[in-house]
């Protein structure tokens, strides 16, 4: 009796082992694996995905994905939402109004660490662009001989007046590059000059009316100042950091668990 019981257990063990091995072999075939996903659920967990962006050159991947309907291939609809400032993007990511966003790398880490606002876990999905920003100075500074970092430092050292420079977000990459560039030439970005935060689309208008003497921002707003003849390029950010990570795409906390699309063929 004991022998029969042992034989039955061995047969059951072998049968289950063969079944598992066959299943593993089948799941290694891409077509079978995709079919298995479809059998569970062929529909995305969210059909509409709201993605925030700021009007900058590198928002094009998000905008064109929606305009050209690349999203339909994956069973979703991208709803691009134009935001007024990086602070607005941050707030809407944190409170769930946005499912994802085209956003500054430094902003993501600031939120993740709780710097300048609520602390929330964030996830970088992809890099959207490298390089493509610059530091622009007003033409009035060139008229006074400030044509590069060294000559700007000499002008500021004269203390004729307070000079104001803008970046786009306190924990953003533009602030980091502007501060680093200034410090390279002996300019203390926190003591020798005044720093202000200005949304990218408002940079040119503020320089035109004299609210600031220079800024660091992404394109096309450096080129716009040149075209409008109110400023000139003093440095590009790849001069400061080669192949710099510029912008990324992120979901809000736990967002990656809420948005699942069909497998990529």
Together in a domain, 236 and 145:
yes
pLDDT for 142 equals 96
pTM: 0.68
Rounded mean pLDDT for each run of 10 residues along the chain, 265 residues in total: 54 48 41 47 79 87 89 89 90 89 84 82 80 91 96 96 94 89 96 95 96 94 96 90 58 47 36
Together in a domain, 107 and 188:
no
pLDDT for 212 equals 96
CA 140 to mean position of chain CA atoms: 33
pLDDT for 149 equals 96
- SS3 per-residue string spanning 1-38: CHHHHHHHHHHHHHHHHHHHHHHHHHHCCHHHHHHHHH
In a domain? residue 14: no
Together in a domain, 106 and 161:
no
In a domain? residue 12: no
Cα gap 256→178, rounded to integer Å: 33
Domain that holds residue 112: 48-129+246-258
∠ CA 150-227-168, rounded to 5°: 60
Together in a domain, 125 and 139:
no
Cα gap 249→58, rounded to integer Å: 11
Together in a domain, 150 and 213:
yes
Together in a domain, 101 and 192:
no
In a domain? residue 8: no
pLDDT for 33 equals 44
pLDDT for 5 equals 53
In a domain? residue 72: yes
pLDDT for 42 equals 66
Cα gap 165→157, rounded to integer Å: 15
Q: Domain tally for the chain?
A: 2
Query: Do the Cβ atoms of 155 and 145 come closer than 8 Å?
Result: yes
C-alpha distances (whole Å) from 111 to each of 159, 161, 162 are 36, 35, 31
Query: Do the Cβ atoms of 135 and 216 come closer than 8 Å?
Result: yes
Together in a domain, 234 and 161:
yes
In a domain? residue 152: yes
pLDDT for 143 equals 96
CA 213 to mean position of chain CA atoms: 27
Question: Dihedrals φ, ψ of 191, to 5°?
Answer: -120, -40
Continuous H helices in the chain: 2-27, 30-40, 60-67, 86-95, 105-113, 139-143, 149-157, 173-184, 203-208, 221-227, 237-240, 255-258
**What are the beta bridge partners of residue 245?**
130
Cβ-Cβ contacts under 8 Å for 253 (sequence gap 6 or more):
94, 120, 121, 122
pLDDT for 41 equals 62
C-alpha distances (whole Å) from 183 to each of 138, 189, 254 are 19, 7, 38
pLDDT for 144 equals 96
Tokens of 78: 């991208």
Together in a domain, 176 and 189:
yes
């Amino acid at each position: 009796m004991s022998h029969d019981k042992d034989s039955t257990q061995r047969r059951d063990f072998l049968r289950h082992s063969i079944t598992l091995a066959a299943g593993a072999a089948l799941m290694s075939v891409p077509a079978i694996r995709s079919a298995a996903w479809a059998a569970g659920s062929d529909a995305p967990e969210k059909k509409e995905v709201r993605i925030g962006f700021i009007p900058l050159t590198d928002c094009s991947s998000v905008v064109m994905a929606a305009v050209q309907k690349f999203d339909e291939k994956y069973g979703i609809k991208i709803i691009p939402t134009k935001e007024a400032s990086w602070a607005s993007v941050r707030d809407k990511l944190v409170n769930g109004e946005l499912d994802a966003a085209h956003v500054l790398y430094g902003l993501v880490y600031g939120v993740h660490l709780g710097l300048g606002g609520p602390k929330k876990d964030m996830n970088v999905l992809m890099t959207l662009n490298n390089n493509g920003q610059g530091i622009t100075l007003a033409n009035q500074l060139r008229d006074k001989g400030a044509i590069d970092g060294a000559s700007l430092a000499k002008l500021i050292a004269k203390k004729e007046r307070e000079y104001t420079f803008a970046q786009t977000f306190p924990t953003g990459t533009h602030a980091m590059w502007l501060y680093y560039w200034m410090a390279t030439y002996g300019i203390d970005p926190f003591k020798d000059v005044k720093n202000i935060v200005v949304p990218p689309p408002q940079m040119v208008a503020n320089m035109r009316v004299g609210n600031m003497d220079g800024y660091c921002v992404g394109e096309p707003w450096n080129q716009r100042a040149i075209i409008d003849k109110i400023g000139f390029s003093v440095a590009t950010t790849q001069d400061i950091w080669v192949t710099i990570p510029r912008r990324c795409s992120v979901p809000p906390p736990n967002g990656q668990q809420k948005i699942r699309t069909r497998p990529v063929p």
